[in-house]
Structure 1
Amino acid sequence: MHTRRFLLKSALMAACSAAAHPLLSTMTFAAAPGDNRLVVIVLRGAMDGLDAVQPYGDRALRGLRRGISLGPQGGALDLDGFYALHPALAPLMPLWQAGELGFAQAVATPYRDKRSHFDGQDVLEAGTGNDLPIDAQKGGWLNRLLQQMPGASAETAYSVGTEEMLILSGPAHALSWAPDARLSLSAQAQLLLTEVYHDDPLFRQAAADAAEIGSASMAPVGEGGPKGDAVKLARFAADRLNGATRIASFSLSGWDSHARQPQVITRSLGALSDAILTLRAALGANWGRTTVLAMTEFGRTVRENGSGGTDHGTGGALVMAGGAVRGGRVYGDWPGLGEGMLYQDRDLLPTRDVRAYAGWAMRGLFGLDAGLVERSVFPGLDLGADPRFLL
């Protein structure tokens, strides 16, 4: 029934906004009690965490990568004498210095070995710890979070013409919306929809949702392309977070760097940097109560390939930002890159489940019981010790 209802609602939304511009992203929102805010950015395509946050202090890195992740000698910004920040993230250095930017290295979901973007993203958004595609009954982990928060309500937005974002799918009620969509429903059209679908509960609710999102405020339209889209998504998210919304998620694509990685990752990291800085500027005073988590489906191989890129790997990095973050440090246990230290002799060995950081964020921001996080939000997860990355 949930799937049928979603399809019916999605069909109506698409029909009402056929002229909408389809961004290559999906966006989701939720309203929740309290003043703390959580933003989850899904980096689709597998970000190379070893290039974003370069462990140049590990001497083995230079024998594995000749043309990428060159550390400070290649223009990266030294963070702590061991890690360096990719030059494309240089605009975020003031946040690092202010304690509003941090990272966790050697993290991953439980997904292993098949290295499929689609399955890996399903596991990341489902948060269930297996490699099966997400299903309507379990839904995404942000949706399960909402189900454990009394008084919370969900509002989902997605780009017209793209797939549903899975991270907030599930039984909690959701609306569909794209940042550039303008339904422009007149008062007469709204009345007509209400009358036509009055006796059909499925379409009646969809018509009500269409009227509601038709009046949503829109972010200014900026330049196109990945960076422009990232700015638009972040502005729209901030606008909602400055209102009743407390949980938002959107995705940024373009991280699959099999070849010419310097060009690919520079562009994508620039878009991520723009998104974070836009959130900070647009949220204003609310930035102090905000946590941003940017996570990806898996990392990339430690060895550089013959095309100047890297292939699908395992361990990667988590980006954390916000005024509620205890930044200025790289979290996690570094496993090393030396002989015998790599996962399957090719990948960074994960030393912590990335879901644990999200779980502790839920605990710190929204007061969820740790046992509830392990049983209901991330079934089967061992949260482990609190990394204390929140203030």
Structure 2
Amino acid sequence: MLSRRLFLKSSALIGCSAAAHPLMSSISFASAPGENRLVVIILRGAMDGLDAFQPYGDPMLRQLRRKLSQGPDQGATDLDGFFALHPALSPLMPLWRSGELAFAPAVSTPYRDKRSHFDGQGLLEAGIPSEDDLLARKDGWLNRLLQQMPGARAQTAYAIGLDDMQILDGPAPARSWAPEAGFNLSGQAQRLLEHVYHDDPLFQAAGDQAMEIAGAGMQVEQEDPGPARDARMLARFAADRLNGETRIASFSISGWDSHANQSRIIGRSLQRLAEAIITLRDTLGPNWGRTTVLAMTEFGRTVRENGTGGTDHGTGGAMLMAGGAIRGGRAYGEWPGLAEGDLYAGRDLMPMRDIRAYAAWAMRDLYGIPRDALERDVFPGLEMGDNPGVWA
């Protein structure tokens, strides 16, 4: 029995395939030339970067957060004498020590002040400077990257799941898959589907891939129990494809909105993130050395904890980077400080760099995309600034 759905999402087939299959994607793939792999993880709900990477060396942290994010005294692991790693991310410490984990504090998209999850995530995935353009622009920056890569190709696109990953939407075709779609086929129904697809050149490949991908997803699900199973499933499926012809993958991890009881909420979500990264490393094997993982969120959270043990929507956040292709074991970028005069709007961490710049430099150094194309076409309105040296 199959418990998956397949959607063939390419510009050539968008008209008829959209009517035939649901567009519900939470993991996306594309082929690209070369051996370097790029994995983008969207952290939906606004991860608190001040909790994930705790700046305990800033004397204001304890005054602003008497219960949250207080560094090694509260079980976090010291990283460099200033920042500490949240306890739920402790499985990643071996990566930090081996130079395969890094982060950039005080980053954000150009989105400011309105603090809407919907618009914030839209800007993050679209890679554009203003939410005013969201309705008119439906493509994403990973798709625009593919359009800049001579020889890049997608092996057809497939989408199964709950989240529409705008980051890979656009004219360049790409595959998508996600678990738990709830599409059940008996053996008889499967044979009927194969018969229907057999003589249709438009859908034959889609039908064959549906069976293949569904079977692979079911095997992962059966072998991987536990509370972080979904994150491991997505990461393992991504790594399996990246070990083949796929070079770019993107998936999302939800559950970061921590208005109350943040200790429990962020601990659970960080555990899922750590599980996903460890699964990528273990499943990729030798290809991990050619892999970059970027974990990005739509905005940060307030520097002050609120009265319900949580934090509210903010501005500056943090970006996690991992993989054998990075120069890790360090924090990248500037630290703005947590004093009253250093905060954005008197409440948020001040952004010191556009998060898109790190993604752009990854594309420049991993795939050789020209800077002018990145600033003009992939990330309109971006000023990349100096190379941070993550991939140098």
TM-score scaled by length of structure 2:
0.89
Distance 2:203 2:336 in 1: 50
Alignment of 1:186-205 (within 5 A): 186=190, 189-195=193-199, 198=200, 205=202
Alignment of 1:1-391 (within 5 A): 6=14, 8-14=16-22, 26-132=26-132, 134=134, 139-154=139-154, 155-160=156-161, 162-179=162-179, 186=190, 189-195=193-199, 198=200, 205-206=202-203, 208-216=205-213, 217-218=216-217, 220-221=220-221, 222-223=223-224, 227-391=228-392
Distance 1:89 1:176 in 2: 28
Distance 2:29 2:77 in 1: 34
Query: Partner of 2:341: helix, strand, or coil?
Result: coil
Distance 1:133 1:309 in 2: 32
Q: Tell me what 1:18 maps to.
A: none
Amino acid aligned to 1:9:
S
Amino acid aligned to 2:21:
M
Give the Å deviation of 1:206: 4.6
Amino acid aligned to 2:211:
G
Distance 2:196 2:340 in 1: 69
Indicate if the aligned counterparts of 2:178 and 2:234 stay in contact, CA closer than 8 A: no
Query: Partner of 2:39: helix, strand, or coil?
Result: strand
Distance 1:263 1:133 in 2: 36
Runs of 4+ with deviation above 6 angstroms:
182-185
Amino acid aligned to 1:77:
T
What 5-or-longer segments of structure 2 have no aligned partner? 1-9
Give the Å deviation of 1:309: 0.2
Give the Å deviation of 1:243: 0.2
Distance 2:19 2:235 in 1: 26
- In percent, how many aligned pairs have the same letter? 60
Distance 2:124 2:226 in 1: 25
Deviations 1:214-260 (A, max 9, x none): 32343511556761100000000000000000000000000000000
Indicate if the aligned counterparts of 1:119 and 1:133 stay in contact, CA closer than 8 A: no
Distance 1:299 1:260 in 2: 17
Deviations 1:159-214 (A, max 9, x none): 43x2421000011123443345677775663342354xx5xxxxx63554233343
Indicate if the aligned counterparts of 1:314 and 1:348 stay in contact, CA closer than 8 A: yes
Deviations 1:359-391 (A, max 9, x none): 000011111111111111001100000000115
Q: CA RMSD in A?
A: 2.4
Distance 1:355 1:205 in 2: 37
Distance 1:109 1:226 in 2: 31
> Cα–Cα, structure 1 residues 40 and 367, in superposed 2: closer, same or farther, change >3 Å?
same
> Cα–Cα, structure 1 residues 98 and 261, in superposed 2: closer, same or farther, change >3 Å?
same
Give the Å deviation of 1:150: 1.3
Indicate if the aligned counterparts of 1:179 and 1:236 stay in contact, CA closer than 8 A: no
Amino acid aligned to 2:292:
T
Indicate if the aligned counterparts of 2:40 and 2:249 stay in contact, CA closer than 8 A: yes
Distance 1:387 1:65 in 2: 30
Indicate if the aligned counterparts of 1:31 and 1:247 stay in contact, CA closer than 8 A: yes
Query: Partner of 2:206: helix, strand, or coil?
Result: helix
> Cα–Cα, structure 1 residues 306 and 158, in superposed 2: closer, same or farther, change >3 Å?
farther
> Cα–Cα, structure 1 residues 268 and 209, in superposed 2: closer, same or farther, change >3 Å?
same
Indicate if the aligned counterparts of 1:55 and 1:61 stay in contact, CA closer than 8 A: yes
Indicate if the aligned counterparts of 2:11 and 2:173 stay in contact, CA closer than 8 A: no
Give the Å deviation of 1:3: 9.1
Distance 2:348 2:137 in 1: 33
Query: Partner of 1:246: helix, strand, or coil?
Result: strand
Give the Å deviation of 1:94: 0.5
Query: Partner of 1:111: helix, strand, or coil?
Result: coil
Amino acid aligned to 1:254:
G
TM-score scaled by length of structure 1:
0.90
Amino acid aligned to 1:50:
L
Comparing 148-157 and 240-249, the one that deviates more: 148-157
Indicate if the aligned counterparts of 1:45 and 1:117 stay in contact, CA closer than 8 A: yes
What 5-or-longer segments of structure 1 have no aligned partner? 16-21, 199-203
Distance 2:59 2:203 in 1: 58
Q: Tell me what 1:19 maps to.
A: none
